[in-house]
Amino acid sequence: MSNIAEIKDRQAAPLSFSMITVFFLLGLIGSVGQIMAYTGIKYSSLVLLSALSNLIPIFTFLLALLFRMEKVDLRRSSGKAKCVGTILAVLGGSLITLYKGPLLINNSSSNSFVKNEDDDEHVLQLSHNSNWVLGGFLFLITCFLSASWHIAQTWFVGKYPSKKMTNVFFFTLSVTVQTAAFTAIIERNPIVWQLQPDIGMAIFGSVVHIGVHIWCLERKGPVYVAMFKPLGMVTAIPLVVIFLHESLHLGRS
């Protein structure tokens, strides 16, 4: 009976300063990860980001072992499945990203974006000035922060299972406030603060994305969730072809 009462008290725990501090730290992990990712894209490319994002399951698996959230017994089939599944997820996603194959669907004629000579010169200059080493380093930090976020969120929902919606709200709020503060320091142009008509869809998508992540982390743990990271590329392929009218290659373009 005492254990049941303890669990109920924990679930009914009010919003405290320590809990708000955890929300702030979770938001800090998310905001810094986003800043690192976008900065890395500036110095390298999305191809490199997609390739290195497949390291998130590995980082998550190692951190879960370190914090004893996962147990691996190689003498049992479940332990072998965890190791093999994580490795296959990374290898499969890396193969899809790095393999350069033939053109499958050509949508170049339907592309509505027309580049002038100045744009071509600007893109060429950016490609020459790209720093793949720095970009790759920033992407590695992003992957590690993403894995750390999975571990921290799993710990939080395990300690406060009744605070999932509060978690989603305060995490989203923390990321918004922190990235806005960083933008105010770096970007002095007031035009960037103009809200676009699709801002509501972006907010809705972010809330749903975070909510589903937290729900899955509570039930299956961080490693299980992180193993699906490479499938993001597979999901994005039909969306890019249908809505962005981009050409489809077998592997990377």
> Is a pLDDT exceeding 70 seen at residue 96?
no
User: In whole angstroms, what is the distance from residue 210 CA to residue 216 CA?
Assistant: 10
pLDDT in tens, 194-241: 777 766 677 777 778 888 888 888 888 888 888 887 776 667 667 767
Q: What is the pLDDT of residue 25?
A: 92
Indicate the pTM of the whole model: 0.72
* pLDDT above 90 coverage of the chain, percent: 8
Q: What is the mean pLDDT of residues 5-21?
A: 62
Q: What is the mean pLDDT of residues 125-142?
A: 71
pLDDT band at 251 (very low <50, low <70, confident <90, very high): low
Q: What is the pLDDT of residue 94?
A: 65
Longest Cα separation, the chain = 75
* Neighbouring C-beta atoms of residue 167, cutoff 10 Å: 21
Q: What is the pLDDT of residue 252?
A: 57
103 phi, psi to nearest 5 deg:
-80, 130
User: In whole angstroms, what is the distance from residue 167 CA to residue 157 CA?
Assistant: 8
Q: What is the mean pLDDT of residues 180-187?
A: 82
pLDDT band at 250 (very low <50, low <70, confident <90, very high): low
pLDDT in tens, 66-91: 888 877 777 888 778 777 877 776 67
Q: What is the pLDDT of residue 13?
A: 57
Q: What is the pLDDT of residue 240?
A: 67
Q: What is the pLDDT of residue 113?
A: 42
More confident residue, 144 or 101: 144
